[in-house]
Amino acid sequence: MARQPRSQSASPTADNTADSIVDAALALASERDWDSVRLSEIAERSGIGLAELRGHFSGKHDILSAFAARIDRQVLEGIDTELAAEPARDRIFDVVMGRFDALQPYREAVRSIARALNRRPAELMAWNSVALRSMRWMLEGAGIDASGRFGALRAQGLAWAYGRTLRVWLDDDDPGMARTMVALDRRLRDGEDWLRRIDSLCGLAGMARRATRRRRQARRDEMPEEGPETSPG
C-alpha cells in the first residue's frame, strides 16, 4: 500500500482578495483556537477593511466553505486518470488520500477548526452540508455516481469515513502518512459492503420504477376507447 504524495498545485495568487482572506483565516487558526479568531482580525491580517471582507464572505463559516472548495479543486486537478480501470475502493482511496495531501500545509489550522466545531454541535451539523458537497465531488472524481438520493447516501457514507480518518491524520507525523492510509483503508473496507448494498438498492429502485410504468401503461391499454360524442335531437 506504498504511495507517493502527489505534487502540490500552485498556491492562489496573493492579489486575489478572497483567497487572501482564506489564507489569513487559516493563518490565525493555526496560531490559536478558531473560536477566538474574530472577523476584524481576519480583515486586518488580509490588509482590508471589514466592509470589503463582508463583500466577499458572510462570516467565518462561509470562509471555511471557500477553503473546502479550494481543496476540492486542488484534489480534482491532481486526479490520476490512469486509475479509471481500478476497483472503486482503490479509486476512492487515492482521491481521499489526495485530499489529505492537499491539507498537509494547513494541518494546524484544520486541527484548531476541528476542535472548535466539535465543541459546537449546531455548527458541526451545519458543516455537514459543506462536507457532503465536497464528498460528492470526491466521488465524482473517483468515477462514482454521486447524483440523486443514492448519491447522497454514498456521499454521507464517505463523509463518515473521511471524518473518522481525519482524526488519525491530525496526529500522523509520518511524512508518508502510513497511519492515515491504514485507517482510511480500514474505513473504506468497512463501508464497501454498505456501498454495494446502496448500488443494489439503486438497481432495485430502477426495476421497481420500470415495473410501475409498465403496469400503468397496461391499464391504459386495457381501457376501452370512448365513442364519438353525439349532439341531442
pLDDT, one tens digit per residue, over 154-209 is: 899 999 999 999 999 999 999 999 999 999 999 998 877 666 665 666 565 556 56
Query: How many Å apart are CA 35 and CA 16, to the nearest integer?
Result: 25
Find where cell 467565518 sits. 60
Query: How many Å apart are CA 233 and CA 227, to the nearest integer?
Result: 18
Least confident window among 44-48, 97-101, 215-219: 215-219
CB 161 within 8 A of CB 154: no
Query: How many Å apart are CA 108 and CA 173, to the nearest integer?
Result: 12
pLDDT of residue 209: 62
Q: Is 40 exposed, middle or buried (0-12, 13-18, 19+ CB in 10 A)?
A: exposed
Report the pLDDT averaged over residues 26-33.
Answer: 97
Least confident window among 38-42, 63-67, 198-202, 217-221: 198-202
Q: What do you get for the CA distance between the two ends of the chain, in Å? A: 89
The pTM of this model reads 0.77
Q: Has residue 221 got a pLDDT over 90?
A: no
Quote the percentage of the chain above a pLDDT of 90: 63
Sign of CA dihedral 156, 161, 162, 166: positive
Sign of CA dihedral 124, 98, 111, 46: negative
CB count within 10 Å of CB 231 equals 4
Per DSSP, helices labelled H in the chain are 17-31, 39-46, 50-56, 60-77, 88-103, 107-119, 121-141, 148-170, 178-222
List, in order of start, the domains of the chain with CATH numbers.
Answer: 59-215 (1.10.357)
CB 6 within 8 A of CB 101: yes
Computed over every residue of the chain, the mean pLDDT equals 85
HEC assignment per residue over 26-82: HHHHHHCCHHHCCHHHHHHHHCCCHHHHHHHCCCHHHHHHHHHHHHHHHHHHCCCHH
- The three cell numbers of residue 55 are 463583500
